[in-house]
Structure 1
Amino acid sequence: MSERQPVDVAVGVLIDADDRFLLTSRPEGKVYAGHWEFPGGKLEAGESVEQALRRELHEELGITIGPAVPWKVEIVDYPHARVRLHFCKVLHWQGAFEMRERQQMAWQTLPVQVGPVLPGTVPVLGWLAAERGFTGATH
């Protein structure tokens, strides 16, 4: 069996002025519905990571983001898809949050208070913990 080609996904790690990060729940009807993740979505043909993230966050959350700072890339092999997650930190945005896919949102600190967390989100919590010198459980 040949290795599946990964699908490129832009992911926003939105961090507010209080150093909290935004997690959203996966909407009903999607794989892993109800699991919490960092928002984002697949790159369309010809899109850069930042262009895709800008489009996805406007479509899903109704916000317009400022600069998306590339942070880390992680490949996750889910049963339904192999994804290459391009994580970008986003510190500035405009607009009021609208949950356009009837998902939920929660501003979080470590350890997170929502669950279950999507497997691809777990490494990010570890990276945030390492940056912040946090030694406790991350999820």
Structure 2
Amino acid sequence: MLSESPILLVVAAAMIDGQGRVLVQQRPEGKPMAGLWEFPGGKVEPGELPEAALIREIHEELGVALAADRLTPAVFASEGLGARHLLLLLYLARDWQGEPEARHASALQWLQPGELRGLAMPPADAPLIGLLERLV
């Protein structure tokens, strides 16, 4: 049996609309960090490219289609997570097909980057706000 990697690789999208707002979703009850607001995304499966994982996760979570050639790598965050270590890769997405819907979240919000500072966010997501303010 293979042991679980000590590094948990996660991808997320800062989806930016035409008004410069960023989409965040609220973690549902029953999940770790329930009620916190986060950038949509998820775990990279073994052997999966980060961009492919992000496209898959965004489709599953929001019902929209992203194209790999339209994703811009932006920043990463590194955060201790118990016995494992979370490495979060954040991509910018400025266009997609479909209208985002909360399939696996309690709620969605479109906010200006500075408004994200008022939200309760997971430890790995919160430090990314300053970068988004400069990029958007």
- Residue ranges of structure 1 left out of the alignment (5+ in a row): 133-139
TM-score, reference length from structure 2: 0.86
Tell me how large the CA RMSD over aligned residues is.
1.8
Call closer, same or farther: CA 1:57–1:93 in 2, change over 3 Å.
Answer: same
1:137 maps to: none
Count of matched residue positions in the alignment of Structure 1 and Structure 2: 129
Cα distance, 1:104 vs structure 2 = 0.7
Alignment partner, residue 45 of structure 1: 46
1:33 is matched with which residue? 34
Q: Does 1:120 align with 2:120?
A: no
Counterpart of 1:58 in 2: which secondary structure?
helix
* Residues 9-45 of structure 1: per-residue CA shift (max 9 Å, x gap): 0111101111110110111211100100101000012
Structure with the higher helix share, 1 or 2? 2
Cα deviation digits, residues 39-86 of structure 1 (max 9, x gap): 100001211111000000000100001322111122111337421101
AA paired with 2:126?
Answer: V
Q: Which SS does the other structure have where 2:115 is aligned?
A: coil
- 1:79 maps to 82
TM-score by length of 1: 0.84
Task: Note the C-alpha offset of 1:6.
Answer: 1.5
Task: Answer yes or no: is the 8 Å Cα contact 1:26–1:35 preserved in 2.
Answer: yes
Conserved in 1, the CA contact under 8 Å of 2:21 and 2:111? yes
Dislocated runs of 4+, deviation >2 Å: 78-81, 111-115, 129-132
Identity of aligned residues (%): 34
Residue matched to 1:129? 133
CA drift of 1:102 comes to 4.1
Q: Distance in 1 between matches of 2:85 and 2:72?
A: 23
Distance 2:83 2:64 in 1: 29
Compared with structure 1, are the counterparts of its residues 5 and 81 closer, same or farther at alpha carbon in structure 2 (3 Å cutoff)?
A: closer
